[in-house]
């Protein structure tokens, strides 16, 4: 049975923690769809196109992956993609509480779609895009946190007028 999974997120920007989950998920599932949420309510630093381009660049050597975007309800997107599994990353207890609520809400909307949780490697369990953006804005070396292309794009975006 061919199994595909959707890994949704804002990916603003993609971190080594996200990449860790991606690399591990492609060894478990036949197809991984990384679905970038447009989510303008989060006021992303990068445009949807920039986030998709960065994801495509850092995953270019992975063959069973599709980078896509969606706007609206994840469950409707999953149905459109004919996918019945959603992958979510959990770093800490705070993530679990939020993700648990979302999974139960999504189950109510679409009981045929399962949510699977994966923890990132312990090396990345503390990383979040929010922390990365804050560190970048203060000029930190991000080489242990994001792929090189992402660090370059962050610095370009944050320091373009300086």
User: Any idea which residues carry the catalytic annotation?
Assistant: 18, 42, 91, 129
On the 0-12 / 13-18 / 19+ scale of CB atoms within 10 A, 136 is buried
Residue carrying the six token digits 């270019």: 60
Residue linked to tokens 């953006």: 133
CB-based burial of residue 24 (10 Å sphere; 0-12 exposed, 13-18 middle, 19+ buried)? middle
């Amino acid at each position: 049975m061919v199994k595909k999974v959707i890994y949704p997120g804002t990916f603003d920007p993609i971190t080594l923690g996200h990449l860790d989950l991606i690399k591990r998920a492609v060894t478990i599932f036949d197809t991984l769809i990384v679905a970038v949420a447009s989510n303008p309510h989060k006021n992303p630093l990068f445009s949807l196109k920039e986030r998709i381009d960065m994801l495509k660049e850092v995953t270019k050597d992975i063959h069973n992956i599709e980078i896509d975007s969606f706007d609206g309800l994840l469950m409707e997107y999953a149905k459109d993609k004919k996918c019945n599994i959603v992958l979510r990353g959990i770093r800490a207890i705070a993530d679990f509480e939020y993700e648990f609520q979302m999974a139960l809400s999504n189950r109510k909307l679409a009981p045929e779609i399962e949510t699977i949780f994966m923890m990132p490697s312990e090396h990345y369990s503390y990383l979040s895009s929010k922390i990365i953006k804050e560190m970048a804005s203060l000029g930190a070396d991000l080489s242990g946190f994001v792929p090189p292309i992402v660090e370059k794009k962050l610095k370009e975006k944050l320091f373009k007028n300086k």
